[in-house]
Chains A and B, each alone.
Chain A
Amino acid sequence: MILIVAEMSGGKLSKSTLEMVAAARQIGRAGDVTALVLGSGVAAVAAEVAKYVDQVLVGDMPALAQYGPEVWAAAVAQIAREGEATAILIGGSRSGREYSPRVAVKLDAPLLEDVIAVKDSGGVLTASHYTFLARVTETVETSAKVVVVTVKPGAFAPAAPLASVAEQFDVDLALPESRLKVTGKTTEKSDRVSLTEADIVVSGGRGVGSAEGFETMIVPLADRLGAAVGATRAIVDAGWRPYAEQVGQTGKTVQPKVYIAVGISGAVQHLSGMNKSKVIVAINKDAEAPIFKVADYGIVGDVKVVVPAILDELKK
């Protein structure tokens, strides 16, 4: 079987899960596409994912209420062994990237990280992923019988539902105790669409001038467009915006339909987090800023004048 580990957010199935289903259907290895749903009180998620796959395995127990890498890795490896999975697909989220290496070690399997394409041909699996701060596309291959794959968010078009709804089975899991004790949680809550799932992202950099400048320019523009808000490392370090909004090497990677960069010069570390966006728009006072080299559309000008002008035009 081809095993995918369902991802959820706020009690709902994530778009990333449907992207993993798409990758699983393309991989070309024999067997049912099986979704594993882990958590506590996850019946709704299990019912939703059942529309997209051949089989659903549900580990719904209080011990899974809190995610932990050791616990998740043990559960996934157990199910992969019992079902003789030939490919295990895990989301390229923080948690997925954190526990997938443990699954690979447990199964003595190679790990293909953040794949954007994956295909089996005669038992040889070939996958592509970005390297060197997303500047290079590398192709790797393995003839291993079992592989663990993390799927880069946004790289695959979400799968469509199947004609029939899959049957669900409860699974018994032998789980270890998590040795990393969680003593507190800071959820960077937002009513906005999530940065990694948004179709439109409006980001600000030093050129917005101040935290107030961000609030009065970037936020209203994002509100008007129904967009997520992003930021550069420089202004996160300056304390203008929370780390959760950081786009780039040490922040989030986004791939929206349109990325609007306001007052962002375009350092390579920032570009690595957004250069796969479908359309890039840049607004910056410096015509020589590197961001214009990757832009489809742009305006050279003072952001304090240009952004209000754009807001005016959007009302028309």
Chain B
Amino acid sequence: MRILTLIRQVLDAEESVRVESGAVALGSSKLVMDTMDEYGVEEALRLKEGGAEAEVVAVAVGPARMQDALRTALAMGADRAIHVETDVVLDAIALSKVVAAIAKEEAADLIFSGGQQADWDSHALGAAVAERLGWPQATWTSALELAGTTLTGKHDVDEGSESFSVDLPAVVTTQQGLNEPRYPTLPGIMKAKKKEMRKETLERFGVAPLLIVKGAEIQVKARLGKILDGKKDAQAAAAELVGLLRNEARVIA
């Protein structure tokens, strides 16, 4: 079987965000593989190591810098990578067209996608890919097992979680708790340099964005910052805080 893992490269969560002329400037910031996508790579590798005869293919669509994230996936253990190189920013619904086309060409059986992107905060890619392929989906999956061609696992729903079973082919989106992604080892990093990274152009897929980004701004809500010292006299600080919340903010009774 063939497993595709979709990779995105995002701003490291510890980095601060800057906006320049109405767009988020990533410039010199530290960029990393999205944690949600790391879960997907790790899970694909686990299925393979668990005995599934599988090829793991890492797929990314985006600018040249994204090959760094693909290299990380290869260093973790993915077999090869496909990079659709473009500076066009695609929304999830447009992007799903590219991914679905690759999945068909590659005769994929299982696709992993991040449960939520850490940059555009989108949840949509996995479900959109599943719809285009006519496949079922398991969203925000926190446990997964494969027996033959049937996946069983656990995933988040509105008011708790569900156990599920679904036959391949399927799309699985990831959630915290699914696994602990491994770090690439030095031999893994050396091997990754020799692994295939196929480059494609976006033009071949004939896909254009459905949404145009008009602007971005960092809105910091002004906070009052009334911080009291409770180290000497906690009771007095507590009394003052309760007074402020009752009479100034008027948020408690």
Contact = CB atoms under 8 A, between A and B. Distances in A.
Interface of A: 9, 67, 69-70, 73, 93-95, 97-102, 104-106, 109-114, 126, 129-142, 144, 178-188, 199-200, 225, 233, 243-244, 249-250, 257-258, 268-269, 275-276, 278-283, 285, 287, 292-302, 305-306, 309-310, 312-314, 316
Contact of B116 (A243, A249, A275): A249
A99 B24 CA distance: 29
Contact of B251 (A106, A233, A278): A278
Interface string B152-175: 100011111111111100000001
Nearest to B231: A301
B249 A296 contact: yes
B242 interface: yes
Contacts of A67: 157-158
B201 interface: no
30 contacts: A93-B158, A98-B137, A98-B139, A101-B96, A101-B126, A102-B131, A104-B93, A132-B17, A136-B19, A136-B24, A136-B217, A139-B215, A179-B136, A180-B138, A180-B166, A181-B164, A181-B166, A200-B252, A243-B161, A281-B241, A292-B225, A292-B227, A296-B226, A297-B241, A299-B237, A300-B228, A305-B230, A306-B238, A312-B235, A313-B238
Interface stretch (B73-81, B101-109, B206-214): B206-214
Interface centre among A70, A98, A134, A306 (most CB of B within 10 A): A98
How many of chain B's residues touch chain A, expressed as a range?
A: 35 or more
A113 B122 contact: yes
B118 A249 contact: yes
Interface SS majority for chain B: mixed
A106 B134 CA distance: 11
A292 B226 CA distance: 9
A133 B121 contact: yes
Given A144-B210, A309-B237, A73 B131 contact: yes
B28 interface: no
Q: Which of B142, B218, B219, B230 has the most CB of A within 10 A?
A: B230
B87 interface: no
Contacts of A138: 120, 213, 215-216
Given A69-B137, A98-B139, A268 B123 contact: no
A258 B252 contact: yes
B251 A130 contact: no
